[in-house]
A and B are shown apart, each in its own frame.
Chain A
Amino acid sequence: MLSSSARRGAAVLLSAAVLTTLSACGAAPDQKSGGAGGAKNAVQPGAATSVADFGSLEALAAAAQKEGELNVIALPPDWANYGEIIKAFEAKYKIKVNSENPDASSSDEIAAVKSRKGQNRAPDVLDLGIAFARSGAAENLFAPYKVTAWDKIPAAQKDADGRWTNDYGGYVSIGCDAARIPTCPQTFADLLKPEYKGKVALNGNPTKSGSAFGGVYAAALANKGSFADIQPGIDFFGQLKKSGNFIPVESTPATVEKGETPISIDWDYLNAGYADQFKGKGVDWKVAVPTDGVYAQYYSQAINKDAPHPAAARLWLEFLYGAEGQNLWLKGYARPVLLPGMTQDGTADQAAVAKLPQVQGTPAFPASEELDKAKATLAEKWDKALS
């Protein structure tokens, strides 16, 4: 068990480092990098709140190219097509993207921002779970920036000041291996059927994994719960566990391929990706968004307030929220935040849209307080319901 204890040690050391940085009241070093764009509106890149502050997108691109690099963190190449997005950005703007720790969690991202304040290695942009986007904004860690497409993003999916903006997301879905399961479940109610004994898994522990948390939230909505009341979802999984249907193993591509988790509750973009990945490997992966528990969640994009490459960070956002970036997410089965508008004006990649799992209606999102309450309930009750 050397590896795990070493990892735990590293976590402790890391947190220690974070603490020392926090307690040492170091003054934030000044931003380097000179002015960009025309002389008239020569705003420091770090203070720019929209592309207008640079004059034009070309001026922003020029300023970003002068910086030459972009630090990103926690972007797995096989997640929502991030691998291709990074390559496309590098090719288009000739800016080198330094991708650090692709499998990091949202709290790792926040820790990196805090512990490397003022360093050249600090992440420039962040892709965060919504709870961390909100808490990070409250801690004043992000730079306000409104992308060109700002007005087309629904108000519920962005911070009014532009400190974070939803980028892409998906629905809680039920993936199912049709090669092993005669009839695939379509709803949460279906999952309780005795024929699914020992077959239903989440992709992690909901007190840690965002998608598993979404699964419990969706199950709550399917069982007369609400955004403020997640308890019915916890009870639902308690019931699943009691009936023997639920298996606590975390579903991963490996367990899916092996057939150990023939039914897996996960984001639809990940489940849809598995379908491609396992075609021809004896796994016939079908994806259904349960009609009784529709829950969508979006990740949020934010710029580090002390980004070492402030112009490149802003250019990255403009790229992501342009048609090209949005369609690249779409290609990875994720639903980009601008998708509704792009479907209407015809800029969305129709072939990719057609491949998305079908969903009725528009998604609703919990308010901050509701989310906090649900998390507190979950942290308190989940273990007990499942053990």
Chain B
Amino acid sequence: MSSTTDPRAADGTRRRRRGPRTWLATLPLLTFTGLCFGIPLGAMAYGAVTRTDPASGATQATGEHLARSLQGPYLASLVGSVQLSALTALVGGVLGVVIAQAVVTSRSAGLRSATLTASGVLANFGGVPLAFAFIATVGISGVVTQLADLTDLGWNLYSFTGLTVVYLYFLIPLMVLVIAPALDGLRPQWREAAQSSGATGRQFWLHVGLPVLAPSLLGGFVLLFGTAFAAHATAAALVGGSVPLVTLKIADALSGNVLTGQENVALALGLDMILIAGLVMAVYLPLQRRSARWLR
């Protein structure tokens, strides 16, 4: 994020080789970013660190909202969101790669296009309709629950596990979508070369396949993490307050009928979310830069 704000400062030597005015071309993008992300971000940060007295209208700086956003139930919701997002991104990422690899290596063009089309649809199927689909299928009086006696097996849709399964429903197709092109880029010749040099399948994946795929895998993980982290409607309809999630907390504070005067804490929570997303990106970017050269 921060590296895009001033391209001249970062890694000067490489850019100079490309010509001194290259950055001018990015100006429209930078302007757009500044307007559409910068202004809301600024307003959010401003709201998070100030308090306006309702009676007098006077505004003063305060660290109170940020502090509160990192305490008690608010902190628990941040932790809950990170846990859920990390778990679902990991499981969704692994399963997505396995499915995508199976589809890419199969010789059936029909299977391939069917899977990719279905993934495109499913990856965007979320919110309340998805929640209700799950309720009707595997909720307490859901069709499948009744038929297969899932409740006796310990299944409960309205729990952390239940929510994980629901999230995977749209995260796995998303992973299939983003990773399939990268798997296509893994040239068969490399595998043949490895095989003729006597490498086993495991050795090929460990020393060639995975390192080459690493940036795409990481990118997929970051995308899945972000999607799960920002999801709100599905969780709100399914678990209410019983699984603490930061997006639910923000909604409670920002647009509810009960709590008044919590807007600034909601803004502080939003800032915390950006910070966490930024940290995840910060891990991803350098690794990505390191391994991206293989795919040139």
In the complex, the answer to whether A383 meets B231 with C-beta atoms within 8 Å is: no
Separation of A283 and B10 alpha carbons in the complex (Å): 65
In the complex, the answer to whether B43 meets A135 with C-beta atoms within 8 Å is: no
Query: Is B284 part of the binding interface, using a Cβ–Cβ cutoff of 8 Å?
Result: no
Query: Is B105 part of the binding interface, using a Cβ–Cβ cutoff of 8 Å?
Result: no
In the complex, the answer to whether B126 meets A260 with C-beta atoms within 8 Å is: no
Q: Which of B190-239 contact A (CB under 8 A)?
A: 227, 230-234, 236-239
Closest Cβ–Cβ distance, residue A1 to chain B (whole Å):
4
Question: Which residues from A are CB-within-8-Å of B2?
Answer: none
Separation of A62 and B222 alpha carbons in the complex (Å): 62
Question: Which residues from B are CB-within-8-Å of A249?
Answer: 135, 139, 157-158, 237-240
Binds B, one of A9-17, A161-169, A268-276: A9-17
Separation of A380 and B232 alpha carbons in the complex (Å): 21
In the complex, the answer to whether A387 meets B242 with C-beta atoms within 8 Å is: yes
Query: Contacts A15-B44, A198-B151 given: A383-B54 contact, CB under 8 Å?
Result: no
Separation of A349 and B135 alpha carbons in the complex (Å): 40
Interface string of B32-51 (1 = CB under 8 A from A): 00000001100110110000
Q: Interface size bucket, A side?
A: 35 or more
Which of A104, A131, A140 has the largest number of chain B CB atoms within 10 A?
A: A131
In the complex, the answer to whether A207 meets B258 with C-beta atoms within 8 Å is: yes
| Contact among B39, B47, B242 with A248 in the assembled complex (CB-CB below 8 Å) | B242
Binds B, one of A80-88, A105-113, A286-294, A314-322: A105-113
In the complex, the answer to whether B256 meets A105 with C-beta atoms within 8 Å is: yes
Separation of A249 and B72 alpha carbons in the complex (Å): 24
Interface string of A367-387 (1 = CB under 8 A from B): 000000001001110111011
Question: Which residues from B are CB-within-8-Å of A382?
Answer: 73, 241
Query: Contacts A1-B170, A260-B141 given: A204-B44 contact, CB under 8 Å?
Result: no
Query: Contacts A11-B254, A106-B257, A383-B76 given: A4-B135 contact, CB under 8 Å?
Result: no
In the complex, the answer to whether B233 meets A4 with C-beta atoms within 8 Å is: yes
Query: Is A39 part of the binding interface, using a Cβ–Cβ cutoff of 8 Å?
Result: no
Closest Cβ–Cβ distance, residue B215 to chain A (whole Å):
23
Separation of A22 and B259 alpha carbons in the complex (Å): 20
Interface string of A117-155 (1 = CB under 8 A from B): 000000000000101100100111000000000000000
| Contact among B54, B227, B238, B254 with A15 in the assembled complex (CB-CB below 8 Å) | B254
In the complex, the answer to whether A258 meets B233 with C-beta atoms within 8 Å is: no
In the complex, the answer to whether B241 meets A254 with C-beta atoms within 8 Å is: no
| Contact among A19, A104, A254 with B47 in the assembled complex (CB-CB below 8 Å) | A19
In the complex, the answer to whether B244 meets A23 with C-beta atoms within 8 Å is: no
In the complex, the answer to whether B239 meets A248 with C-beta atoms within 8 Å is: yes
Binds A, one of B89-97, B245-253, B285-293: B245-253
Q: Which of A70-111 contact B (CB under 8 A)?
A: 104-108
Closest Cβ–Cβ distance, residue A364 to chain B (whole Å):
19
Closest Cβ–Cβ distance, residue A236 to chain B (whole Å):
15
Question: Which residues from A are CB-within-8-Å of B255?
Answer: 11, 104-105, 107-108, 208
Separation of A210 and B252 alpha carbons in the complex (Å): 11
Separation of A343 and B99 alpha carbons in the complex (Å): 68
Query: Is A206 part of the binding interface, using a Cβ–Cβ cutoff of 8 Å?
Result: yes
Binds A, one of B13-21, B22-30, B175-183, B261-269: B261-269
Question: Which residues from A are CB-within-8-Å of B189?
Answer: none
Question: Which residues from A are CB-within-8-Å of B136?
Answer: 258, 260
In the complex, the answer to whether A208 meets B43 with C-beta atoms within 8 Å is: no
Query: Is A20 part of the binding interface, using a Cβ–Cβ cutoff of 8 Å?
Result: yes
Separation of A248 and B241 alpha carbons in the complex (Å): 7
Query: Is A55 part of the binding interface, using a Cβ–Cβ cutoff of 8 Å?
Result: no
Separation of A384 and B72 alpha carbons in the complex (Å): 9
Query: Is A209 part of the binding interface, using a Cβ–Cβ cutoff of 8 Å?
Result: yes
Separation of A1 and B166 alpha carbons in the complex (Å): 12
In the complex, the answer to whether A19 meets B43 with C-beta atoms within 8 Å is: yes
Query: Is A255 part of the binding interface, using a Cβ–Cβ cutoff of 8 Å?
Result: yes
Query: Is B243 part of the binding interface, using a Cβ–Cβ cutoff of 8 Å?
Result: yes
Separation of A52 and B254 alpha carbons in the complex (Å): 39
In the complex, the answer to whether B257 meets A209 with C-beta atoms within 8 Å is: yes
In the complex, the answer to whether A135 meets B54 with C-beta atoms within 8 Å is: yes
Closest Cβ–Cβ distance, residue B218 to chain A (whole Å):
20
Query: Is B109 part of the binding interface, using a Cβ–Cβ cutoff of 8 Å?
Result: no
In the complex, the answer to whether B256 meets A15 with C-beta atoms within 8 Å is: no
Between A and B, 10 residue pairs with Cβ closer than 8 Å are: A1-B231, A16-B39, A107-B263, A131-B257, A198-B140, A199-B140, A248-B239, A248-B242, A260-B142, A378-B258
Known: A199-B140, A386-B240. 9 other contacts (CB 8 A): A4-B127, A8-B230, A16-B40, A140-B55, A205-B252, A207-B256, A208-B259, A249-B240, A383-B73
A positions within 8 Å CB-CB of B? 1-5, 7-8, 11-13, 15-16, 18-20, 22-23, 104-108, 129, 131-132, 135, 138-140, 198-199, 202, 204-210, 213, 241, 247-250, 254-255, 258-260, 262, 375, 378-380, 382-384, 386-387
Complex A-B, nearest 8 residue pairs according to Cβ-Cβ distance, in ascending order: A16-B43, A210-B257, A208-B256, A248-B242, A1-B126, A4-B233, A205-B240, A386-B242
